A and B are shown apart, each in its own frame.
Chain A
Amino acid sequence: MERTLDENWKTCFAQLGPALLLFARRWANCRADAEDIVQEAFVRFWRRQHSIENRALLYATVRSTALDRLRSDQRRARREAAVALDRDEHSEPCFSTADEGQQLLAAAVERLPDEQREVVILKVWNELTFAEIATVLEISQNTAASRYRYALGALKKSLQPHE
């Protein structure tokens, strides 16, 4: 799909940005770091004039960007230093919640293991297929599907009232 820089990238980013940020939080200690990752990945993706419909490629770009940043010594040092900190104390909310039920659900999503959470993020808020998720995360489709099922099971369990 050919397009120019003048095309309304803002419309695309307004639609995709929140989910991209959510996805990038997996590798970031804070929202600012996630924004750095998303900015860099989106700019490169857009300049390449890739089809915006190719979500898997966009998310693969975000993931590669994040991993490359983590590989650099400076980022690694920052990350290692931050490991000792309590993650929850320093993280901003990832979701806009309307009521208490949604707050509980958002908190439950945040508590999911990273590998399950990223599958849920890609599946629910980005509407990627398991095949696309498998490509983005470099795992098998079965693994992607099973992580999703485990995640939903964990969410359901955590939302059940305690007896």
Chain B
Amino acid sequence: MNDFSELESELKRLRPTEVGDALFQRIERALLRPNETATAETATAGIIPRQPSRTGTWWSLGLGLTAATVLILLGLGFFAPPQTKTTPTVAQETPAASTSPSLTSGLQPSALTQTVYRQRDEGLVFSPNQSERLLRRVRYDTRETMQWRNPQTGASLRVSYPAEQVVLTPVSFQ
């Protein structure tokens, strides 16, 4: 680096242009103003609080609720008390698949997968609780799939829905 020392000295002699009075006045006005964005600042400290993107959240929530409703409805059907069995007779007809409760009972969880299809590094943010604490925010868009299977009949049920995860990792300054 020694061969650059003269150049570094020259660079240090170069002065950035001074800040105009207008900017001082703007900052002064901003500092004197009541902390109108205090709520937002609490969350992100020195970073412009971005309007949280609710679209994906509502989308996920809607799909999740739909999936849950389907599960409940199916569960009510699956786990309803079995009908009283009649004594089988030789002449008994083969029951139709759609009316057989035994076909859908005994489902057991068989798989749970989470596929990350997008990862976004959103940079540094400040901890909402500890204002000095700097965190890196990474957002993951995932698809979670749950599967149940009846080992006896081979029947299976699969529910898949999108989800969003935000991971905050502490960053330290020296």
Contacts and interface: CB of A to CB of B under 8 A. Distances in A.
Contacts of A69: 48
Interface in B114-140: 123-126, 131-132, 134
Interface string A42-86: 111111111000101100110011011101100000000000000
A158 to B, nearest CB: 11
A13 B19 contact: yes
A10 to B, nearest CB: 6
Interface in B44-75: 45-48, 50
Contact of B47 (A44, A46, A109): A44
Interface string B76-107: 00000000000000000000000000000000
Contact of B30 (A39, A57, A159): A39
Contact of A93 (B4, B17, B35): B17
Interface stretch (B7-15, B143-151, B157-165): B7-15
B45 A44 contact: yes
A135 B31 CA distance: 27
Given A18-B17, A38-B23, A129 B174 contact: yes
A125 to B, nearest CB: 6
Contact of B24 (A10, A22, A101): A10
Contacts of B24: 10, 13
B141 interface: no
B31 A9 contact: yes
Interface residues of B, number: 41
B112 interface: no
A18 B131 contact: no
Interface in B14-54: 14-20, 22-24, 26-28, 30-32, 35, 41, 45-48, 50
B16 A19 contact: yes
B54 to A, nearest CB: 16
Contacts of A44: 41, 45-48
A129 B45 CA distance: 24
Contact of B16 (A47, A60, A96): A96
Contacts of A149: 1, 4
Contacts of B17: 18, 21, 92-96
Nearest to A72: B50
A61 B124 CA distance: 9
A102 to B, nearest CB: 6
A43 B26 CA distance: 10
Interface in A1-47: 5, 9-10, 13-14, 17-19, 21-22, 35, 38-47
Nearest to A124: B11
B123 A43 contact: no
A22 B35 contact: no
Interface of B: 1, 4, 7-8, 10-20, 22-24, 26-28, 30-32, 35, 41, 45-48, 50, 123-126, 131-132, 134, 171, 173-174
Interface of A: 5, 9-10, 13-14, 17-19, 21-22, 35, 38-50, 54, 56-57, 60-61, 64-65, 67-69, 71-72, 92-97, 101-102, 105-106, 109, 120, 124-125, 129, 131-132, 135, 138, 149, 152-153, 155-156, 159
